[in-house]
Amino acid sequence: MIRWGMIGCGNVTLHKSAPAFNKVKDSQLFAIFSRNTEKAEHCAERLGIPHVFNTFEELIANEHISAVYIATPPDSHAFYSIKALEAGKAVYVEKPMALHYRDALRMSSVAKQSESQLFVAYYRRALPYFLYIKKIIESGELGNLKSFSIQLVQPPRKEDFNSENLPWRLIPEIGGMGYFYDLAPHQIDLILFLFGKITDAGGIAENRNRLYGVPDYVEAEFLLEGNVKGNGIWYFTSSEAEKTDQFSAEFEKGVIEFSTFSKSVIKIIKNGMELTHTEDFPENIQHPFIQSVVNEMTGKGKSNADLDAAVSVNYWMEKICGLSDV
């Protein structure tokens, strides 16, 4: 049995991930810590977590806890992960892996030196929706990949207009480069998972509409092994009419179109015909990935988690945004 200690308790976590730790086999959410004790107690009651700790040190030191789930904003991922790894605990940390590439490198290094397991929550790797796409690609029926493109265009959210109380994702010292750092990590990881290694990337990050203090527009160009080229556009202050979530990949014998975040139909265009495929998402979207992680931790299987790929996602995000330390 893997008994988890949970650090942090955001509203999204209550739906996407936390309940799954109690649903999967050989797993239990055993304890929680949050700097907001009232919030931790509320989460514990709602999720059926038996123990609430007043400090993260107590949680990490508890002998009954074998793994730690870190559900805090990115600015504290490295701190909590390293403390838990050094205490001999396995770690499952939300994406992006860290606020900075240099911190992701440190986390990976500590995990390898301590021989503790470190998993990053790139959970789309275990969703049937994306596994179906991977199966089609790996079957070879479409031939080799020629190019790909990503478009993620969204209007601003209601809370983005509250300059006195912006979401943490729009505060650079907490969330990094805005919604690009929140959403693009999944898409960059999908490039790695579905298409292969990125050999180069570059781009621009701009604040076009000045609604808040971080970039709202990012363009990127990618180069993969085999000289495959791709591009991406992310725009987070668009009009409602411009809203788009599309991933398109052109192969020698056809095209695959799908989305990253919406439940759209997978389209396969081949020989002039369009085939469609649908897959339901689980109630708790991280459930399949968490089950695979627990299986790996208990020696009952192998997950699709890839620590080196997770580190590289941070590298490519910083390179695309033109940050100085990569």
Evaluate whether 77 touches 103 at the Cβ level (below 8 Å).
yes
Cα 224 to the center of its chain, rounded Å: 21
* Residue 142 pLDDT greater than 90, yes or no: yes
Cα 120 to the center of its chain, rounded Å: 7
Evaluate whether 123 touches 294 at the Cβ level (below 8 Å).
no
pLDDT, tens only, 33-58: 999 999 999 999 999 999 999 999 99
Evaluate whether 142 touches 253 at the Cβ level (below 8 Å).
yes
Q: Which of 8-17, 135-144, 233-242 has the lowest mean pLDDT?
A: 8-17
Cα 8 to the center of its chain, rounded Å: 16
* Residue 9 pLDDT greater than 80, yes or no: yes
Q: What is the CA radius of gyration of the chain?
A: 20
CA distances from 245 to 132, 198, 225, 265 (A): 18, 22, 25, 12
Domain boundaries of the chain, sorted by first residue = 2-122+287-304, 128-280
Percentage of the chain modeled with pLDDT above 70: 99
Cα–Cα distance measured from residue 309 to residue 313, given in angstroms and rounded to the nearest whole number: 6
Evaluate whether 225 touches 134 at the Cβ level (below 8 Å).
no
pTM summary value: 0.96
- From the list 188, 197, 191, the residue with the least C-alpha distance to 133 is 191
What mean pLDDT do residues 23-42 have? Answer: 95
* Residue 263 pLDDT greater than 90, yes or no: no
In this structure, the strands spanning 244-251 and 145-153 are: antiparallel
Question: Coil, strand or helix: which one is 289?
Answer: helix
CA distances from 288 to 16, 237, 281 (A): 11, 32, 10
Token pair in block for residue 94: 């939300």
Evaluate whether 96 touches 313 at the Cβ level (below 8 Å).
yes
The domain made up of 128-280 has a fold known as Dihydrodipicolinate Reductase; domain 2 (3.30.360)
Which pLDDT belongs to residue 12? 81
Which pLDDT belongs to residue 326? 58
Which pLDDT belongs to residue 10? 84
* Residue 324 pLDDT greater than 70, yes or no: no
What mean pLDDT do residues 291-317 have? Answer: 98
* Residue 192 pLDDT greater than 90, yes or no: yes
Cα–Cα distance measured from residue 8 to residue 223, given in angstroms and rounded to the nearest whole number: 37
Whether cis (ω within 30° of 0) applies to the bond prior to 155 is no
* Residue 181 pLDDT greater than 80, yes or no: yes
What mean pLDDT do residues 200-222 have? Answer: 98
Alpha helix locations (H) across the chain?
A: 11-16, 18-23, 37-47, 56-61, 77-86, 101-114, 128-139, 172-175, 178-190, 287-297, 307-320
Mean pLDDT score of the chain = 96
pLDDT, tens only, 48-103: 999 999 999 999 999 999 999 999 999 999 999 999 999 999 999 999 999 999 99
What mean pLDDT do residues 192-221 have? Answer: 98
CA distances from 100 to 44, 110, 132, 148, 234 (A): 31, 16, 32, 27, 20
Which pLDDT belongs to residue 11? 80
Percentage of the chain modeled with pLDDT above 90: 95
| Full DSSP string of 211-228 | SSSS-SEEEEEEEETTTE
DSSP 3-state percent helix, strand, coil across the chain (nearest 5): 40, 25, 35
Taking the domain 2-122+287-304, which CATH number applies?
Answer: 3.40.50.720
Task: Indicate the burial class of 145 (C-beta count within 10 angstroms; 0-12, 13-18, 19 or more).
Answer: buried
